[in-house]
Amino acid sequence: MKAEEFSKGHQSMNDTRVVQFSRPMLGPEEAQAAYDAVMSGWVTQGPRVAEFEREFAGATTATHACAVSNCTTALHLALRAVGVGEGDEVITVSYTFLATANAIRYLGAWPVFVDIERGTRNMDPALVEAAITSRTKAILCVHQFGMPCDLAAILAVANRHGLPVIEDAACAAGSEIQIDGQWEPIGKPQGVAACFSFHPRKVLTAGDGGIITSNDAEFDAKVRRWRQHAMSVSDLTRNNSSQVIIETFDEVGYNYRMTDIQAAVARRQLVRLPAIIKARREWAARYVELLSDLPGLEFPVEPSWARSNWQTYNVLLQPGIDRDAVMQSMLEAGVQTRRPTFCCHLEKAHNQRPLRFPLPVSEDVYRRNLGLPLFPHMSVGDQDQVIAALRNSLR
């Protein structure tokens, strides 16, 4: 199925003369699934969550999958499970959504930011080793915009120093990486765990939600327990038991549960995933084809060992161009754009400590990066409108 065929049957944003930056791919199937969950009478974490966990684990070939309320809580639980605590350090990137750094701070630890590669927008593995100290407790890498980071190189450093690796895979459902000559889905953890988001801007959405995949039964048991106030038995197990069960609470936990309504929607989304990825890759290729003649425009680099889901399509504008003025011009032409993400160290929430290392690439990419609309059911007319608006704004 071609990308333009995939868009048939869905309202084009040209109907309102505005091309949105992102639109979730939702239809009657998701609405029916949510309706069925509501009418079942079980709407919080329950049988549909358990079914979604099994299906997502199967899709990513992970041994375990634990559904949670969002990806930020997933990161929080994963970091706690590998022992990150007060006064520790976690090596990560500044060029990412604030949730990556926030989750580290929740535990009383501090992010140590290293720079990124310009082409992939991901952690530069060559800079990781120099950031390791006696306080380093983990490495938190990010598959930015769905582009797989260089896990093989990052894991080589981590393994030399006995450090766990957590993958922030918020954007990366459906992305793939080549490991030892074999293509593997992001979510089959190469480190300890991978954490995903189901926010409406992501490739799969349940309105919100998250999931943690792992191949470690002990790790999975911890995060599964903590997501529900560290209760000794789940609501579902207690409800289905023929014996009275008196639950206990032996440690502090959290209310980080996914609801069965969300899981019902997410299960339908998972069925759509192959078609969604195929369409996104076709729209991304068409951007390159139709914009490659623009001087100074830099496209994201997909390494030979990576297959992106193109959760966000972003380009670097030529140095000296006012990115915000371009965004305003395109908005006036009926096209929504976005700063693709942030530099955490430039925000007040995370600038209380001086940087340990300079971040020239992160800062340059942040200033020049422009996110263009991309969603699977966009039309040729939608994308042509985006391309025309960008060309006009750069004249």
Q: Hey, which residues are catalytic here?
A: 202
Total number of residues shown for the chain: 395
Token digits for 217?
């039964």
DSSP for 57-78, please give it.
HHHHT-SEEEEES-HHHHHHHH
Q: What are 126's two structure tokens?
A: 């060559």
CB of 245 closer than 8 Å to CB of 99: no
In the three-class reduction of DSSP (H, G, I as helix; E, B as strand; rest coil), residue 183 is classed as strand
Q: Please, which residues have CB within 8 angstroms of residue 262's CB and are 6 or more apart in sequence?
A: 198, 206, 207, 208, 209
Q: To which H or E segment does residue 93 belong? A: strand 89-93
The Cα–Cα gap between 327 and 393 comes to 8
The answer to whether residues 174 and 203 touch, using CB atoms and an 8 Å cutoff, is: yes
Residue 311's CB is within 10 A of a number of other CB atoms, namely 26
- CA 224-78-250 angle, to 5 degrees, is 45
The letter for the amino acid at 9 is G
Which residues on neighbouring strands pair with residue 183, listed in sequence order?
Answer: 178
Cα–Cα distance measured from residue 332 to residue 260, given in angstroms and rounded to the nearest whole number:
41
Spatial CA neighbour of 194 closest among 180, 173, 177? 173
Cβ atoms of residues 122 and 139 within 8 Å = no
DSSP H/E element including 114: strand 110-114
Name the token pair of 105: 């701070």
